[in-house]
Amino acid sequence: MPLDDLFSLANRLALAGWAALVLALWGPRWLMLAGGLALPALLTCLYTGLVLGFFASAEGGFFSLDAVGRLLSGREMLLAGWLHFLAFDLFVGAWQVRTARRESVPRLLVVPCLALTFLLGPAGLLAFLALRAAIRATRTPGNAGIPA
């Protein structure tokens, strides 16, 4: 499969995963399994396949910014890097949904965190961590805080 087709396929898989995650805030368990386990696992398989096949012949390395630039200069490793984003962002999104459901974080407030994680991974994680900390701090015995 040409790398461009694999790129489109991976993007579609990730989008399906994000849709499942948002619905999983309210929906049944299989949505969580699809968006939080099956689709991230599929993306990690594709990533691992690329790394097994192309990392050894790639230039560059991890220990200087230029080396990282050279590492991602080949199209295979560039696509692997993109799959890394897609897979890990989705998994972090799934963790947010699980945590929100377990700790009764208001679900409507989790949606923008998911959107931010989808677009700008770490910024979305930061938003969710801040939201969760704020809710925990204001929740006292006898006061359930913001209703879930």
* Contact status: 27 vs another protein (CB under 8 A): no
**For another protein, which is the closer residue by CB, 75 or 136?**
75
CB of 38 to another protein, least distance (A): 11
Give the residue with the Cβ less far from another protein, 43 or 135: 43
The answer to whether the beta carbons of residues 115 and 124 sit under 8 Å apart is yes
Structure tokens that stand for 120 in this block? 């700008």
Based on CB atoms, which residue is closest to another protein, 1 or 137? 1
> Rule CB under 8 A: which of 30-59 touch another protein?
41, 44-46, 48-50, 52-57
Is residue 65 at the binding interface for another protein, with CB under 8 A as the rule? no
Dihedral sign, CA of 34, 35, 36, 42? positive
Q: How far is the CB of 60 from another protein (least distance, A)?
A: 16
Per-residue DSSP letters for 74-129? Answer: SHHHHHHHHHHHHHHHHHHHHHHHHHHHHHT--HHHHHHHHHHHHHHHHHHHHHHH
CB of 77 to another protein, least distance (A): 12
Q: Which is nearer to another protein, 86 or 97 (CB)?
A: 86
Long-range contacts of 125-132 (CB under 8 A, 24+ apart): 125/92, 125/96, 128/96, 128/99, 128/100, 131/105, 132/99, 132/100, 132/103, 132/105
Residues that bind another protein (CB under 8 A): 1, 6, 41, 44-46, 48-50, 52-57, 76
